[in-house]
Amino acid sequence: MDIPGVKWQKSSFSGDRDECVELGNLPGQIAIRESDTPEAIVRTTRVKLEAFLLSIKTGEFSTWPSTTASNSTPPDYPSR
């Protein structure tokens, strides 16, 4: 499902891969989806998204167990 009129944007770190998170700007909201499952869309506000990203950057979720399978290697993303 696509939202009419929404231009989706993905990180430049994603390159040509179809395994990335995309953001779409809506009036008063931000839409978030994964490019490989575009029908699943989460909507939130810019303030809530910024608070969530800040909590990730400050390590609030660092005690959560990793979801990466033990036999797989996470992608090597360049740092900025």
Name the pTM for this structure: 0.67
Q: Give the pLDDT confidence score for residue 16 in this predicted structure.
A: 75
Q: What pLDDT, on the 0 to 100 scale, is given for residue 51?
A: 94
Mean per-residue pLDDT pooled into runs of 10, the chain (80 residues): 84 76 92 90 95 91 70 51
The residue to which tokens 């290697």 are assigned: 73
Pair 36, 46: CB distance under 8 Å: no
